[in-house]
Structure 1
Amino acid sequence: MSNRRGRPESETGVLKGEASPARAASRKPRRRSHRAMVRAWRRHFLNDRPIDLTVCIANWNCRDMLRSCLQSLHDRPQGVRLETIVVDNASSDGAADMVAREFPEVVLLRNEANLGFARANNQAATRARGRYLFFLNNDTVIPRGALGRMVAYADVHPEAGIIGPRLRDSRGRTQVSYRQRPTMATLLHRTSLLRWTGMLRSAYRRYRRQDFNPGFTRPVEVLMGAAVLVPRPIFLECGGWDEEFAFGGEDLDLSARIGRRHQIVYHPEVEIVHYGRTSTRQHIGFVSSNMAIGFLRYLRKSGYRWPSLLFYKLIVTLDAPVQLIGKALQFGWRRLRGRHVKAR
C-alpha cells in the first residue's frame, strides 16, 4: 500500500523507516548535555533576578564620548545585573542612531528638542527598573567591576542617600567631586571680575573642599552630578531632579534636598574616569548662560532675598561678555597650539 505521494506505507499507517507511535513513546528522552543544562539554568536564574542598577545617561551632541562610555559598560563585566537607558536631547551628530545601531540592548529615548540635563535624567528614572539609579555623564569610562562595588557598598549602607565615586581625569588626576554647600560668595568668585581681585578666594577654597584628603570615604555636603548613585525609593521621595534647572546647579539642588534626610557619601574606593566639560567646550554660550540661571535659582531656593539676588544677577550680567571673550580666546589658543603640534 502507498500513500497519496507514492511513499510505501505499512499496514499500520506508519511510513517505513519511521518508529511506530508506541515505540516512540517508549523511547527514553535524550539527556541534555551538562553545558546546555548550565546555560539554561543560568539564563533562567538571571531572568528571574531583579535588576540591581539602572544606568541613566543624558546625551546631547557627544556621540563619540557616548560610544566610549557605552562600550566600557558593554565590554567590562560589572558584577551586577544592570540596564542602561540613554536619553538623547535631539542631538544633531547622529548620536541616537549610533546607539540604536551599535548598542541594541540599550533603552533609547529620543527627545525632539533639548530638554536639559535634569529633565532627561527624570525621563530615564521613570523608565528605570533597577533598585538603584546611577546617573552618569556621557564623558565617562567605567572600569571593570566598579558598579558592582558601588551597589555592594550601598547595600550595607542604607543610610546613604547619594553615593559618589572618585573621579579621575584622562591623566589619572583626582577631580574635586565633593564640595560644601555654596554660598553667594563662592558663586560670585566664579565671575572673572571678582576672581581676578582675589577677594573671595578663601570662601571658594572652603567650598571646593581643597583642605580635605580625597582618599577616604566620608560624608560630604555636595557631590558632583557626573556620577552619582541614588536608591530609587529615595530619588522618588525627594521628587527627582528639579527640571527648572537646564544645565548647571541641578546637582547642588539634588544634594541639598536629599541631604536633609539622608547622608551624602563620597566613596573613593570606586574610581571612574571622567574627561569633563565635553559639552561645555562645544557649546560655550549655551552652557554659560544656563549655568548662571541655574545658580541664581539655587540661591533663591536656598533662601536668599531679592536684594542679594539682584546684586548677584547684576554682577553675572556684567561679567558675561568678559567670560565669553575669555572662553573664545582660550578655545582659539588651544586650536592654534593643536595645529602647531600636528605640523611638527
Structure 2
Amino acid sequence: MSHGQQTDSERKPQVTVVVVTYQSRNTIGATLDSLRESCDAGLAVVVVDNASNDGTADFVAAHAPWATLVRGQGNIGFGRGCNRGFDLVATPYVLLLNPDAVIAADALTRLLTFMEQNPQVGICGPAVQEPSGELQPTGALPDPWKIMLRPILPGWAERDMRHVVPGERPQATDWVCGSIMLLRWKMIEEIGRFDPRFFLYFEETDLCRRARRAGWEIWTVGEAVAEHVNAASAKATGAHMMWDTIAEHYFRSRFYYLIKHFGWPAAVTAELGELLLMTVRAAGERLRGRSYKSLGLRLRSPILKLPVFPD
C-alpha cells in the first residue's frame, strides 16, 4: 500500500451527525459550515427538517449538498426527529447537534478520541459556550424532591449542578445537555432510542437516566469546546426559557418524565408541592414588599398534564 493510502476501514465514517431543524433558516448555515471540514474527512451528516415553512430545507439542500436531507411532513418534535435521523446511522457514534450550535473539527476529534479510549462511556459532551460567555450546565438528574423544593431552596436543589469550563479535564456526570452530545451507537442499540412521547424537553434527560441505569457512564470533555446560541429569542426579550411560549412543552414533558421514572404519586406530589411552596414564597415576598412573578407565570402553564402530539 502506497504512502497515504487508506484502507476501507480507515475511510469508513466513524460519526454521523444528526441535526433536527425547525424554522432554522437563520442559524443552520453556520452549523453546516462548522461541519464541512469534518465532512470532507469522512463525517456523515443527516439533517431532519420538521416541515419548516421558512425555507430551511431548501437552504440545506442548496448550501450543503454533501449532507443527507430528510424532509418531514410535520413538526414531530426533537426526539422523534432524532429517531428519524437514527434510521440512517451506520457508524459507531452519532453526534446530536442543534441547528444553532457550532463545533469545529478538532473539538469533534477530541470527543471521538475520548470515547474510543473509554469504552464504558455511552455519552459525552463538550464545554458549550454561548456568545455572551455563559457556559452550559451539567450535573445531577432532576427528581421530585429537587423540583418541589426549588422555589424555597434553590441552592440545595441545584447544589449538584456546575458549568463545564473550557479546557478542564474530563469529568463524570449524570446529565449533559442535548444541544451537543456524542452517543455510542452500541448504547443506543442496548437502551433504545429517544422516547417518542417527549415532544420537546426532557428527552435527553430521560435518555441519560436510562443510560446510567443500564451501567453506561456519562462524561463531560472540557478540552472540546463548542458554541451554542441557547434560547436566543427568549434571551432577546429577557424572558426565561421556562416562561415563554415553550412552557407548554417544558412542563408537560417534565410531568411525563416524573411519572415515567418515579411514578404517578411522586409526580403529582412534586407538581402540587411546587405550587404550594411557590405560593408560600410569594406570600413571603409580598410581606417584604417584593413581587414574585414566577407564581402567576407557573399558574398559566400546564399543570398535571402530559405531552400532546399533533396529528
8 Å Cα contact 2:19-2:97 kept in structure 1: yes
Partner of 1:289: 248
Residue 204 (structure 1) shift: 2.5
Q: 1:256 aligns with which of 209, 212, 219?
A: 209
**Matched residue, 2:220:** 266
TM-fit CA distance, 1:252: 0.9
Q: Which residue, out of 121, 146, 153, partners 1:160?
A: 121
CA distance in 2, matches of 1:96, 1:63: 8
Say if 1:121 and 1:324 are closer, same or farther in 2 by CA, change over 3 A.
farther
Q: Cα offset for 1:286?
A: 4.8
> Aligned partners of 1:265, 1:79: CA distance in 2, in Å?
28
1:147 aligned to which of 83, 104, 108: 108
| Residue type at the aligned position of 1:303 | F
Cα offset, 1:265, TM superposition: 0.8
Where does residue 59 of structure 2 map in the other structure? 98
Q: Does 1:205 align with 2:176?
A: no
Aligned residue type for 2:153: L
Taking the aligned partners of 1:148 and 1:58, their CA distance within structure 2 comes to 22
Q: CA deviation at 1:206?
A: 1.6
- Consecutive unaligned residues of structure 2, counting only runs of 5 or more, are 280-293, 302-311
The residue number in structure 2 matching 1:310 is 268
> What is the alpha-carbon distance in structure 2 between the residues aligned to residue 58 and residue 107 of structure 1?
12
CA distance, structure 1, for counterparts of residue 260 and residue 10 of structure 2? 43
Is the contact between residue 80 and residue 148 of structure 1 (CA under 8 Å) also seen in structure 2? no
Alignment of 1:167-246 (within 5 A): 167-176=128-137, 178-188=138-148, 194=151, 199-209=152-162, 215-246=168-199
Deviation at residue 216 of structure 1 after TM alignment: 2.8
**Within 2, Cα distance between the matches of 1:56 and 1:82?**
11
Q: Find the residue that maps to 2:246 and give its secondary structure.
A: helix
Task: Quickly say closer, same or farther: Cα 1:47–1:127, change in 2 above 3 A.
Answer: same
**How far apart, CA to CA, are the structure 1 residues paired with 2:41 and 2:121?**
19
Q: CA deviation at 1:175?
A: 2.1
What percent identity do the matched residue pairs reach? Answer: 25
Contact 1:180-1:209 within 8 A present in 2 as well: no
- CA distance in 1 between counterparts of 2:63 and 2:56 reads 10
Cα deviation, 1:22-60, whole Å, max 9, x if unaligned, reads xxxxxxxxxxxxxxx99xx86x75797221100011111
- Alignment TM-score, normalising by the size of structure 2: 0.79
SS at structure 2 position matched to 1:302: helix
Contact map agreement 2:97 2:179 (CA 8 A) in 1? yes
Per the alignment, do residues 157 and 321 of structure 1 end up closer, same or farther by CA in structure 2, a change over 3 Å counting?
Answer: same
State yes or no: 1:322 paired with 2:276: no
Q: CA deviation at 1:183?
A: 1.7
State the SS of the aligned residue for 2:49.
Answer: strand
Paired residue total: 276
1:58 maps to 2:20: yes
Equivalents in 2 of 1:130, 1:157: separation in Å? 17
TM-score, scaled to structure 1:
0.71
Query: Secondary structure of 2:27's match?
Result: helix
Could you say which residue in structure 2 is the equivalent of 1:14? none
Letter of the 1:187 counterpart: I
Q: Secondary structure at the match of 1:90?
A: coil
In the alignment, structure 1 segments of 5+ residues that lack a partner are 1-36, 327-344
Distance 1:55 1:189, change over 3 A: farther
Query: Does the Cα contact within 8 Å between 2:127 and 2:165 map onto a contact in 1?
Result: no
- CA displacement at 1:323 relative to structure 2: 5.1
